[in-house]
Amino acid sequence: MSNWTKIANLEDIPRLGSRVVKRNGQADIAVFRTEDDQVFALHDKCPHKNGPLSQGIVHGHKVTCPLHGWNIQLADGNAIAPDEGHAPCVAVKLENGEVFLDV
């Protein structure tokens, strides 16, 4: 069962940037906006040493973790080779300029 919750308008997230969604007691979610105005959501923890991915530099459909520079694929949360690891994804959708998360 999907549980779509509106979290923000697209313009509330900076292009090539992100916002953090805090949930009571659960892992933070990083919501990214790429240059082509697509949105992606991942758990805000790098698979390497739990760095906050939301604070990284976004380029293409990737983000670079601010702590040690791992590159993570936004679409599937996978680390880009040669690094290996995975940040869990959260379903996200964009409708009429509004961003929804499935939480």
Residues that bind other proteins (CB under 8 A): 5, 7-8, 12, 14-17, 19-24, 28, 31, 35-36, 49-52, 55-60, 64, 66-69, 71, 82, 103
CB of 69 to other proteins, least distance (A): 7
Closer of 30 and 77 to other proteins (Cβ): 30
CB of 60 to other proteins, least distance (A): 6
Tell which residue, 67, 56, 92, 63, has the closest CA to residue 78.
Answer: 63
Closer of 5 and 75 to other proteins (Cβ): 5
CB 103: neighbour CB atoms within 10 A? 16
Look at residue 11 and give its three-state secondary structure.
Answer: helix
Strand blocks (E) in 34-96: 39-43, 57-59, 62-64, 71-73, 92-95
CB of 72 to other proteins, least distance (A): 11
